[in-house]
Structure 1
Amino acid sequence: MKLFESNQNKTTLLKLFSLLISIICFSCSSPKKENDSAEIANDIDRYLKKAMELHNIPGLALAVVEGDEIIYEKYFGVASLKDSNLVKENTLFRVYSATKLITTTGIFQLVENGELNLEDRISKYLDSLPSAWRDVKIKNLLSHSSGLPDIIRYESTLTDQELMEKLSKDGMEFATGTQFRYNQTNYWLLAQIIEKITGLTFDEYILKNQFANASKGVLFSSNSNETIPNKATRYHYNGKSKSFEKDTNNSGIRGHSGNGLNITLNKLIDWDKQLKNNKLLNERTKSMMWSPFSFEQNFRYQKDNFLHGWHNYQVNNLDSYGFSGGNLAAYRYFPKDNTSIILLSNGYQIEAYDIIINDIARIALPELRKKDLVLEEKIMQTVLNGDYEESLRYFTKLREQNPNSLFDNLRLNINGVANSYVWNEEPKKALKVFELNAEANPEWWIAMAGLAEIYEIQNDSLNAIKYYQQALMLNEKNEYDYNELMKDKINELKK
């Protein structure tokens, strides 16, 4: 009996000791987490202030959300240059093509409910389609592998019937399923399929099923000229006048499913939490949505880059899923850390969204933060400062840290800086930046074509021919149908 009592006392003491250790550990870890969060927030603050100045961004809102916990949420700059209205919690940003994430989620909700199948032909739901379109499947619309002609080439003022008549006369751009080509027709048709199945308008369906509790802070409009309270004005930078001009884009109601979502940062945070907590889609359906689409032709998008309506981005070998819109807005979800980064802005002088999202991940995600990583913004800063050797050193190190990344946006941005020097009639600066881009990206045909063009401008025919020929060899897939133009330039230069 005494032995039992002794053992019982020991057990009780052990439980008390374990409880005490847990309390001590919690009290130690909680302040540490708070300190880490505060340090991360300060680092993001410093970074964003420099990035906004470097890229000349009028207004910006950014959030980092780990699970349900908001690690960072802040608002910077102005929503309108005209009246200097500040970006606030109630500021609506149009997210342009990031809207496609919302539309895709809506399609997969129908898939999850058994009302739709990815293998369904679109002719099952849509009547009077051109005969060449009838074998296109739902999965081809989601993955931009349909080969359909793009509605973007026609005026938004056309009626649906007038538009279809014009499109039916256009040939298919490629055999369905073989290639990736970004296309607004795909998402216009997805909206029509949603409406056919549900009996609701596209707007009604999305708001009901993804933003049911949002009485305000989310709406659809693809018309930049429409007056909407609290909406941030989207700006384009005019390099010649060196000033911002108000965007006048109007895609009409047909653009709602592809580029028409206007939303506040906190409403997008709410949407993000619902997605993570399986309230919008279950895990199985999300896994299906985030699975790579298998293109029949072997080209770079087959390397697990494009999924079903989403894109797979790698940051220092960490996977993330998301998409961007208008070079202004971006959503990224990092599943390993259960963390999302949301960026909303309203203009720029030098494109920035992809660079900023990648760098915020390097600052905020624990696995990346503890490493000595190169920030893409640092490369842009050295390029703009004319420190080209330093730029190349940073770019080389960045590639070593990210062997599977192509850095499309970063190298396009550098190309854009070089082009701006061309427009400003600063050929020596332009040549230096084109040379840097070609040395940093020797496998990229656009870098070689840019270098050829600046040599052509400087009447250096031999080097122009040399780099046009290199660009031709690298552009095996004839991106942007540019090869014929380069061949013509080579022939002219040889004469």
Structure 2
Amino acid sequence: MKINFSKSLVIPILISLVSLAVNSQSKQNTDSIDVFLKNKMEKLHIPALQIAVVQHGKIVKSNSYGIANIENSVMATNQNMFSINSCTKAFVGVAVMQLQEEGKLNINDSISKYLDDLPAAWKGLSMKQLFANISGLPNIIDYKENLLADTENGSWEKVKTLPMEFNTGDRFRYNQTGYVIIGRIINKVSGMHFTKFIEDRQFKVVGMKQTRFGDSNDIIPNSAGAYTTQDIVDGRWITTDKVRSSYAKFPEFFRTCTGIITTSDEIAQWIIALQNGVLLKHKSSLDLLWQPAVRNNGRVGGFNKLVNGYAIGWPTVTREEHPAVGPIGGMRSAFFVYPKDDLSIIVLTNLQGANPEWFMDEIAGFYIPDMKESNGFGLSPTVKKLRKELIVQNYKNPLKIAESLKKNNAAFNLSENDLNDFGYKLLAEGKQNEALKIFKLNTDLYPESGNTYDSYAETLAGLGNKKEAIKNYKRAFELNPKNINAQEQAKKLAVL
């Protein structure tokens, strides 16, 4: 898989185009979600966004916003096609569960039961471990996300010569080799190429008339195009200050990893069919599809604090309150299914760097008030208790309140990270003064942590208190000399 970038565009021009398009579209169908998404698009420089919401088995919202094609100022519509990249893996998970229901395979079997040309170290791996990215397999793409060779056979033979990266089950590490193997197994046990199996058994069954496999080499009717603000530097993704066109090529054998192009409405129809027993006959199959794998340490493993687990092709948001399964793809598209709430949200964009998974819960909050960040959703139980008391007392004397809660309950503990998260949530809500008090509380509770002073200083600077900001940036640097940014911020403020 090779991605090339070109055609730089200045972001302010894009913002004007998106704002014009969203305002025009919203006049016809404006609600609070439309306003929320418009703000997100402008903030994140998203050219086009498409949304569908499923509640109680029906599509209750469907809309498109922005610019599908920047070069020609083409406005987005519900017919626009978006690449969903690694969300494709969720369809592969369904395909394998369909084959398991037919008795043609079992995800707990060793993959050597189905394939012969495997290195000895791979033979005992199960499909479930491959799906969950805990196999330890070497990756068939390099750090620049290019395949190891120019051909399918060349890449396959090359990856087989590489050592295992870790003991199976020890870690989570996103890996494409496992999905290439799964594609080979589907080919063998189904008697057809996996792309055709998915087309026949999912796209056609559901009536997904537009959905298809493809890449930038193909002419896609109603294509929403592809843009990026991302680049790879030293093996790490960074966000640039330019929106550019992006190019992606996905060889056919690689399309268990990525490659589906679709609309939010058609994914909504697919989710409804999946939950209604159209695609999988047994509820137990759906439960297994969404059950995150457990590593050797007894914990789930995933991409980050939010998407913290991985099941059968489906990343999971494993938590007590409003758990979800949430395929994410290409840093541009995502869909979250909230099984306990009978709610699903699909957000597709044409910008690599939009990362809609990070605002999916906020959209859910429009349907489930308990999930609104302003109501404390996402905070730890102890911070929620603190927040409740702070609101009652108008955020006066946070340290005294925390000490009182601790006195009444010895198990009450406020972690540094949880308080820091709370402070930044308050900042996101525009509550700078309240956030300042939380960051100050964190310095009181964790006086030897440089990070607490850094966050406190940042907020002080935002409120215009340069003297105190400089003082706390200096303290942050004293406690953590590696925090060069704190030192630089203190110097900048001193000359302003």
Q: TM-score, normalised by structure 2?
A: 0.67
SS in 2 for 1:169: coil
User: 2:255 & 2:359 partners in 1: Cα distance?
Assistant: 26
**Counterpart amino acid of residue 324 in structure 2:** S
Give, in angstroms, the shift of residue 254 of structure 1: 2.8
Give, in angstroms, the shift of residue 314 of structure 1: 5.4
Give, in angstroms, the shift of residue 83 of structure 1: 1.2
Give, in angstroms, the shift of residue 269 of structure 1: 1.2
Contact 1:374 / 1:394 at 8 angstroms: preserved in 2?
no
SS in 1 for 2:344: strand
Question: Do structure 1's residue 169 and structure 2's residue 147 form an aligned pair?
Answer: no
Q: Report the CA distance shift for 1:338/1:170 in structure 2 as closer, same or farther (over 3 A).
A: same
Q: Which has the higher helix share?
A: 1
Question: Do structure 1's residue 62 and structure 2's residue 51 form an aligned pair?
Answer: yes
User: 1:356 & 1:449 partners in 2: Cα distance?
Assistant: 32
* Structure-2 residue corresponding to 1:99: 88
**Counterpart amino acid of residue 197 in structure 2:** Y
User: 2:170 & 2:373 partners in 1: Cα distance?
Assistant: 41
User: 1:63 & 1:449 partners in 2: Cα distance?
Assistant: 46
Give, in angstroms, the shift of residue 381 of structure 1: 10
**Counterpart amino acid of residue 348 in structure 2:** L
SS in 2 for 1:149: coil
Contact 2:55 / 2:343 at 8 angstroms: preserved in 1?
yes
Contact 1:146 / 1:176 at 8 angstroms: preserved in 2?
yes
Question: Do structure 1's residue 147 and structure 2's residue 136 form an aligned pair?
Answer: yes
Contact 1:383 / 1:391 at 8 angstroms: preserved in 2?
no
SS in 2 for 1:191: helix
Q: Report the CA distance shift for 1:172/1:86 in structure 2 as closer, same or farther (over 3 A).
A: same
* Structure-2 residue corresponding to 1:120: 109
Q: Report the CA distance shift for 1:352/1:144 in structure 2 as closer, same or farther (over 3 A).
A: closer
* Structure-2 residue corresponding to 1:284: 284
* Structure-2 residue corresponding to 1:136: 125
Matches within 5 A, 1:431-442: none
CA RMSD of aligned residues (A): 4.0
**Counterpart amino acid of residue 121 in structure 2:** A
User: 2:481 & 2:333 partners in 1: Cα distance?
Assistant: 27
Contact 1:157 / 1:252 at 8 angstroms: preserved in 2?
no
Q: Report the CA distance shift for 1:237/1:389 in structure 2 as closer, same or farther (over 3 A).
A: farther
Contact 2:149 / 2:155 at 8 angstroms: preserved in 1?
no
* Structure-1 residue corresponding to 2:361: 358
User: 1:83 & 1:51 partners in 2: Cα distance?
Assistant: 23
* Structure-2 residue corresponding to 1:5: none
Q: Which 4+ residue blocks in structure 1 deviate beyond 6 angstroms?
A: 238-241, 392-397, 448-451, 456-460
Query: More deviation in 92-101 or 157-166?
Result: 157-166
* Structure-2 residue corresponding to 1:342: 346
* Structure-2 residue corresponding to 1:265: 264
Matches within 5 A, 1:201-240: 201-213=193-205, 214=207, 216-221=209-214, 223-237=215-229
Give, in angstroms, the shift of residue 328 of structure 1: 1.0
Contact 2:148 / 2:154 at 8 angstroms: preserved in 1?
no
* Structure-2 residue corresponding to 1:186: 178
- Structure 1 runs not aligned, ≥5 long: 1-39, 398-414, 419-427, 440-447, 461-495
Query: How many percent of aligned residue pairs carry the same amino acid?
Result: 29
The count of aligned residue pairs is: 379
SS in 2 for 1:318: coil
User: 1:191 & 1:149 partners in 2: Cα distance?
Assistant: 17
Q: Report the CA distance shift for 1:243/1:364 in structure 2 as closer, same or farther (over 3 A).
A: same
Contact 2:292 / 2:300 at 8 angstroms: preserved in 1?
no
Question: Do structure 1's residue 245 and structure 2's residue 244 form an aligned pair?
Answer: yes
Give, in angstroms, the shift of residue 253 of structure 1: 1.7
Q: Report the CA distance shift for 1:452/1:169 in structure 2 as closer, same or farther (over 3 A).
A: farther
